[in-house]
Amino acid sequence: MTLRLYNTLTRRKDTFTPIDARDVRLYVCGPTVYDRAHIGNARPLIVFDVLFRLLRNLYGADHVRYVRNITDVEDKINARAAERGISIAALTAETIQGFHADVAAIGCLPPTVEPRATDHIGEMIAIMRRLVGSGHAYEAAGHVLFHTPSMPDYGKLSRRSLDELVAGARVEVAPYKQSDGDFVLWKPADPSSPGWDSPWGRGRPGWHIECSAMSWKHLGEVFDIHGGGIDLIFPHHENEVAQTRCAFGHAAMANIWMHNGFLQVEGEKMSKSAGNFVTIHELVEGASFGGRRWPGEVLRLAMLRTHYRQPIDWTVQALEEAEKTLDRWYSLAEPVATEPQAEDASGWLDSLADDLNTPAMLADLHRLFADDPAEAVRGARMIGLLQQGPPAWRQQRRADLGINADRIQRLVDERLAARVAKRWADSDRLRDELAGMGVLLKDNKDGTTSWDLNGRSAF
């Protein structure tokens, strides 16, 4: 099995050859914990969870290290804590707990390591010492800044020159900068803000140095794959590359860089001002999108129907289609053994190994459910779908749709008894009561064998 992944660094699909097949290493930028994760945040969580699952399948679960960090020191965190009148520690603890609930709801495996930035201040200082000592960084007015002209190929990841990057970015103008494109590694912290002692005074880290420190600590100076959203290519990932390469003297930080595409909602850019900003929590637990809540597995399948590098339009229609697919698949999975086994994977694994081509893989699964349901279930479970038994899915779906299945079945049984006893008035009254609940009965010569609610089967 050959795994090919699109590499942002080379702008082509590259054959993936791990540095050490016994220790495959993946780093993905995680959340800044000041608010609940929105549906745009869900995309890299699901995409790189699928990659993690695929790598575990190919190399063995014990031979893959997946690091997804938590940024728990940042200006937005400080501002939100002040806005809510709570401590930074209370805000980050609450947000991390909510984040873990959200990623579990959409079926993501826990990463191998989930480091927090505040636990890696020592590593950040060590990298900055190296950069200052080698002339790639300098101290000015209590700040430590990376000097971008010191790196001849700065901009290699985004494929733009330093002048183009500075012109197209919102760079902070400061008199202490030696060059406009220089970026902050360390900045002073006032007494009311989180801060740590350093050779350059009390301060706190910039965003970019955090990921360089955490990836170094848990994956080494050079590792296999670095992932994140396309919006992170510049400045975040470009600056990670600069810091790490210049600190350790290697030609690469990660051999393959992967980026998922943008997400919009019903054809519009998602924003609070547009009124279409929706969190994972609201989708799973509330009724803020399409007037109802959606199972996390529906969100996951809806996301995987679009190739990860393509833009995705998040719509109610897409969720409804994903939901119908899962209803069908769970129904077809009913007779399949709990843990289906197969000696050889079918074509779905080839599709997935071609740069995580989940749309092609889902098409494979649709075909397989007709010919080999056990293998189809195996493939679906490998990408985090069909994780519960059909009875549990039915129970969840009925609850999500507001179906009181026991009450409906009781009324159906009462109507059937009335029909057998030829109490037609009672039968008609019960039929009308059920119709008022949106229930459509299916009668045949053997009686009432099944019912639908608003066009949805009773599963």
**pLDDT score at 394:** 82
Q: Which tops the pLDDT comparison, 185 or 190?
A: 185
Residue range 51-104, pLDDT digits in tens? 999 999 999 999 999 999 999 999 999 999 999 999 999 999 999 999 999 999
Pairing between strand 447-453 and 439-444? antiparallel
pTM, 2 dp: 0.89
The Cα diameter of the chain in Å comes to: 95
Q: Cβ(77)–Cβ(91) under 8 Å?
A: yes
Residue range 201-258, pLDDT digits in tens? 999 999 999 999 999 999 999 999 999 999 999 999 999 999 999 999 999 999 999 9
Smallest CA-to-CA distance from 382 within 28, 51, 2, 68 is with 51
Mean pLDDT score across all residues of the chain: 91
What the block records as the tokens of 389 is 């038994």
pLDDT band at 458 (very low <50, low <70, confident <90, very high): very low
Residue 456 DSSP SS3 = strand
**pLDDT score at 307:** 98
Question: 404-434 in b/e burial notation, b at 16+ Cβ within 10 A?
Answer: ebeebeebbebbbebbeeeeeeebeebbeeb
The torsion angles phi and psi of 286, rounded to 5 degrees, stand at -115, -160
**pLDDT score at 146:** 98
Over 70: is that where the pLDDT of 342 sits? Answer: no
Residue range 108-124, pLDDT digits in tens? 999 999 999 999 999 99
Smallest CA-to-CA distance from 437 within 419, 422, 421, 458 is with 458
